[in-house]
Structure 1
Amino acid sequence: MDTALEQIREQQKQSWNKFSSGWKKWDAFTMDFLRPMGEAIIHSLQLKDKDLVLDIATGTGEPGLTIARLIPGGKVVGTDLSKDMLIIALANAEAKGLKNYEPLVTDVCESPFPANTFDAISCRMGFMFFPDMLLAARQMYRVLKPKGRLAVAVWAGPQQNNWVTTILSVIQKQLVLPPPAPDAPGMFRCAGPEVMSELFKKAGFKNIVEKQISGTVDYQSFERYWEMMMDVGAPIVAAMSGADDATKAAIKAEVSKEFESKNIKGEAKLEYAAIIIAAEK
């Protein structure tokens, strides 16, 4: 990996460590929100009881912890760049009484595992942040056993995910942020048609299948939505840190208006959509 990509990786590591306390605070809510994507990944993996599974970008542990519960005769290795996130994952595993889940701090692009190690690989909402996505896919292919299965989830397009664009669109307008480079890590980097299928094809995978799932997430109130985004949204907080108090107040007021316009019946729900990609070695 070249120096520029290594710098991105280090920035991400620092960011995830910094925001780990926010993720711990909102863990139950966030894992409930992301559960449908995890369930779709698990369904695609066709797991067997004695499988050895790699859960990449495991964060606070899911879907690796659920997989570990489903394969008591097998084992899950959950990897992540962030040591602090994995401390939470280990605590979650211990709270659930799971003995077959092992957290490991490592970079997907420099996988320490021998070739043909794992029966299955899962990765939920991590791919779009990998500095070199093709290298990551090739590493996954290398450590997967022949006929092993891979399943990942990435966000669909911004127009289908107003749970995050409701706040991001206002911030981008108020603060006039420069657009990211086309291939820079970001929420919607993998959302284009066949982006992931073509990537996995280049890495050597076969029998690639894409499907989309969608739904709504209930924040219960605007204030709860705002608080959560300020606690876990690293890019949002970074952008807001450069704003003065008056601008921050104006942004919050406009986001509140946008939020309410999407909930004319007094609810507090926003929409999400994700792409699930399954493949075989």
Structure 2
Amino acid sequence: MNAESQQIRDQQKDSWNKFSAGWKKWDELTMRFLKPFGDEMISQIKPKDGETILDIATGTGEPGLSIAAMIPNGKVVLTDLAEEMLKITAENAVNGGLKNIETFVCDVSALPFADNTFDAVTCRMGFMFFPEMDLAAKEIMRVLKPGGRVATSVWNAPEKNFWVTAMMSTINKNMQLPVPPAGAPGMFRCAQPGLIADLLSNAGAKNILEKEMDEKLLIGTADVYWSFHTEVGAPIVAALGKADNELKAKIKEEVFNTLHQRYTPDNVFLDYSARIIYAEK
């Protein structure tokens, strides 16, 4: 990994650690929000009892913990770059009565596991944040057993993810934010059809399938929407941190107006879309 990638990785680690408290606070909502994608990934890899499965960029533990509950005689290894997120994972495992799990703080570009270790690998909403996605794909394929399965998910195009663009487009309209360099880690970096499939193929994967999923989740009011985003969204918090109180109030009002053009005040939804990619070694 080059110096630039190491810097990006360190920034990612600091950011996820910093926002772990917000993720813990909003864990129930976030897990409901992301559950359809995790469920689809699980249905694709078809976990079997007795298997050893790796969940990369697990965050607060999903879909790894759900897989662990399905294979009581197997084992799930959950990894993340941020140790504070893995502390929440461990708490969630205890609360769920799960003992067949193990957590590792590590970088996906240098997984601390031997070749051909895992029967399956999952990675929900992680790839777009990896500094070197090609290296991540190679590491995933390296630790998979021959015939092993991998399932990952990434966000679809911005126009299909109103849940976040309603906020970010308003911020961008009101503030002069720096444009990230092409290919920099970000939510929609992997939205192009076939991008992850090509990375996995180049790393030696076969039998690759790609599926698009569109979802909608009722969260309640615009106030809930605003609080959720401003406590878990690192780019949003970073941007608003550069705004004075007057500008923040203006942005908030405009975000509420944008939401109310689409939804009634007490029935605000999260509209979102992702790509699910499955492959085998």
Contact 2:221 2:265 in 1 (8 A): no
Q: Which residue of 1 aligns with 2:90?
A: 90
Q: Which residue of 2 aligns with 1:239?
A: 239
Q: Which residue of 1 aligns with 2:279?
A: 279
Change over 3 Å in CA distance of 1:211–1:225 after alignment to 2: same
Q: Which residue of 2 aligns with 1:109?
A: 109
**Greater than 2 Å deviation, 4+ residue runs:** none
CA distance in structure 2 between the partners assigned to 1:43 and 1:242 by the alignment: 43
Change over 3 Å in CA distance of 1:111–1:268 after alignment to 2: same
Q: Which residue of 2 aligns with 1:127?
A: 127
TM-score (norm 2): 0.98
Contact 1:262 1:270 in 2 (8 A): no
Percent identity over the alignment is 53
Contact 1:68 1:101 in 2 (8 A): yes
What code does the residue aligned with 1:14 have? D
The range that moved more, 68-77 or 192-201, is 192-201
Q: How does 1:134-149 map to 2 (within 5 A)?
A: 134-149=134-149
Q: How does 1:1-281 map to 2 (within 5 A)?
A: 1-264=1-264, 267-281=267-281
CA distance in structure 2 between the partners assigned to 1:270 and 1:79 by the alignment: 28
Deviations for 1:39-64, whole angstroms, at most 9, x for unmatched residues?
A: 00001102111110000000100000
CA distance in structure 2 between the partners assigned to 1:236 and 1:114 by the alignment: 38
* Structure 1 segments unaligned to the other structure (5+ residues): none
* Structure 2 segments unaligned to the other structure (5+ residues): none
CA distance in structure 2 between the partners assigned to 1:265 and 1:239 by the alignment: 26
The range that moved more, 145-154 or 179-188, is 179-188
CA distance in structure 2 between the partners assigned to 1:68 and 1:26 by the alignment: 22
CA distance in structure 2 between the partners assigned to 1:33 and 1:273 by the alignment: 11
Contact 1:120 1:144 in 2 (8 A): yes
> What root-mean-square deviation, in Å, do the aligned CA atoms of Structure 1 and Structure 2 show?
0.9
Deviations for 1:172-208, whole angstroms, at most 9, x for unmatched residues?
A: 1111213221200000000012111111111110000
Q: How many residues were matched structurally?
A: 281
TM-score (norm 1): 0.98
CA distance in structure 1 between the partners assigned to 2:261 and 2:17 by the alignment: 34
State the secondary structure of the residue aligned to 1:42.
Answer: helix
Change over 3 Å in CA distance of 1:166–1:119 after alignment to 2: same
Q: How far off its partner does 1:265 sit?
A: 7.7
What code does the residue aligned with 2:243 have? A
CA distance in structure 1 between the partners assigned to 2:267 and 2:81 by the alignment: 37
What code does the residue aligned with 1:155 have? W
What code does the residue aligned with 1:247 have? L
Q: How far off its partner does 1:209 sit?
A: 0.2
